[in-house]
Amino acid sequence: MGYNLYINGESVPCDDHRDIFNPATDELLGQCPIASKAQLDAAVAAASEAFKSWSKTSNEERKNACHGIGAVLEENAEELSKLLTQEQGKPLNGVGSRFELGGCAGWAHFTAELELPVEVIQDNEEGRVEVHRKPIGVVGSITPWNWPLMIAIWHVIPAIRSGNTVVIKPSPFTPLSTLRMIELIAGILPKGVLNVVAGTDALGQMMSEHKDIQKIVFTGSCATGGKIMASAAPTLKRLTLELGGNDAGIVLPDVDAKAIAEGVFWGAFINGGQTCAALKRLYVHADVYDDVCLHLTEFAKNMPLGNGLDENNVLGPVQNLMQYKKVEGLVTDAVAKGAKILLGANPDHGVGYFYPTTILADCTDDMRLVAEEQFGPALPILKYTDIDDVIERANAVDVGLGGSVWSADKEKAKAIASRLECGSVWINAHGMIQPNVPFGGVKGSGIGVEFGIDGLKEYTTIQAVFA
């Protein structure tokens, strides 16, 4: 199947293309068009033109449009799920492609119902002051390869719900599913409201620098987030940056090790660990350390991993070779420094980027697997005895996306949770997100939040009206 850009309501071919391969089979999946600077300019011009009328549409019209997108996503969920599995690698089942498409539709419908009414700050004999929320203009959306469709929807829906227009650029690793999804959903909107361009990383930089894009919403790595901030500075763009994390989980000595195994497993291995707010370092109290290692390994070893199109599999390959090599290097380093392999490691280097589900015990904070974001299926388990000390270790990183505390005593866990430096914290779970709850990082994990009213506000500017 051929893939094109979608600009100003039309499917637009490109002169240049790049091959995209299925990470499970190494087979050619399709060709990604590479947009030129002129095509990016055309998309931004179309979005600027469309903004003139879209920003003036009624609240009702925009709400209905978002519900309409939700319906299109539902109607095409199976086609998009299969394409996503073939491109990204995640299985159809488990917390995989069908789950991701369900999330896309759910987020679209929920966000459609969010309202930003005029706020009356003051209404007395001295006067009336209202706060109005206005759309910003053209929003540039730049997305990563791990949850490409859901993250695209997280960017696009609040932007158009609040009256902006959008130019989206997917990751060069997973462009095809986004190109197809945007073509489907943009078709129900007035031309120019939603446009998609694809290409290399350089296209993202051109967007960050573009004088006619007023806001960038970016999900991806910390390093790229910093570059975008720098490129966006001369034009003073609004920014929402959802960046990387290195989430710690702290297991207290009062847990039932068998009972928490499933939650810990999915917290860490959702999407093969290629999830921003996955559990990436597990700190376990010495009293329950052996039990937690045992039950987690027992649970993990039965999870079927393979080609995601096989309905039996719940785990798939790593998405790309770069990431596969990173995970392999981090595990090799940890083992060399004394980590004990409880499960996995030693990949067979056969067809596809299959890295085994890997659990390592006896890890220490100086190992790269602990200090850096692995973004893959390898979980380090560390031992602790003193709670103050472990909180310090959990906080001793430059990022702060999520964190978790596992305990039979919720109140005790909450007190510890409040001391963790992260944007979201879970008790006896890890990584749950909801469309009504603001999600974002502290420290190097980003700027701003997505989801809910707070997330929607990020697509608006304030106008105070003194009447």
Q: In the complex, which residues of this chain contact ligand NAD (CB under 6 A)? A: 142-146, 169, 171-172, 201, 204-205, 208, 219-221, 224, 227-228, 242-245, 276, 373, 375, 401, 441, 446
- Dist. CA 95–CA 77, nearest whole Å: 15
Where helices occur in 187-307 by DSSP H, the ranges are 201-209, 222-232, 257-269, 289-300
Are the C-beta atoms of 347 and 329 separated by less than 8 Å? no
In the complex, minimum distance from the CB of residue 29 to ligand NAD, in angstroms, rounded to a whole number = 18
In the complex, minimum distance from the CB of residue 216 to ligand NAD, in angstroms, rounded to a whole number = 8
In the complex, minimum distance from the CB of residue 144 to ligand NAD, in angstroms, rounded to a whole number = 3
Are the C-beta atoms of 397 and 220 separated by less than 8 Å? no
3-state SS assignment for residue 171: coil
Residue nearest to ligand NAD according to CB distances in the complex: 204
Alpha-carbon distances of 192 from 145, 156, 327, 376, rounded to whole Å:
25, 13, 41, 37
- Dist. CA 383–CA 401, nearest whole Å: 22
Using the Cα atoms of residue 135, residue 138, residue 143 and residue 147 in order, give the sign of their dihedral. positive
Closer to ligand NAD by CB, 278 or 382: give it: 278
3-state SS assignment for residue 165: strand
Closer to ligand NAD by CB, 98 or 326: give it: 326
In the complex, minimum distance from the CB of residue 110 to ligand NAD, in angstroms, rounded to a whole number = 17
Closer to ligand NAD by CB, 163 or 376: give it: 376
- Give the Cβ contact number of residue 165 at 10 Å: 30
Using the Cα atoms of residue 14, residue 15, residue 16 and residue 18 in order, give the sign of their dihedral. positive
CA 140 to chain centroid: 16
Closer to ligand NAD by CB, 288 or 330: give it: 330
115 is an active site residue: no
In the complex, minimum distance from the CB of residue 123 to ligand NAD, in angstroms, rounded to a whole number = 39
3-state SS assignment for residue 20: strand
Are the C-beta atoms of 190 and 54 separated by less than 8 Å? yes
Q: In 3D, which of 30, 149, 140 has the Cα closest to residue 86?
A: 30
Q: What are the phi and psi torsion angles at 344 (to 5°)?
A: 80, -135
Q: In 3D, which of 460, 451, 443 has the Cα closest to residue 225?
A: 443
3-state SS assignment for residue 7: strand
- Dist. CA 32–CA 178, nearest whole Å: 11
C-alpha angle 319/303/407, rounded to 5°? 100
- Give the Cβ contact number of residue 56 at 10 Å: 10
In the complex, minimum distance from the CB of residue 240 to ligand NAD, in angstroms, rounded to a whole number = 10
Candidate list 14, 32, 100, 242, residue with the active-site label: 242
66 is an active site residue: no
In the complex, minimum distance from the CB of residue 171 to ligand NAD, in angstroms, rounded to a whole number = 4
Closer to ligand NAD by CB, 135 or 441: give it: 441
Closer to ligand NAD by CB, 233 or 415: give it: 233
Candidate list 276, 293, 363, 422, residue with the active-site label: 276
Closer to ligand NAD by CB, 112 or 228: give it: 228
In the complex, minimum distance from the CB of residue 184 to ligand NAD, in angstroms, rounded to a whole number = 20
Which helix H or strand E contains 79, and what residues bound it? helix 77-88
Closer to ligand NAD by CB, 83 or 361: give it: 83
- Dist. CA 347–CA 358, nearest whole Å: 10
Are the C-beta atoms of 316 and 308 separated by less than 8 Å? yes
Which residues are part of the catalytic machinery?
242, 276
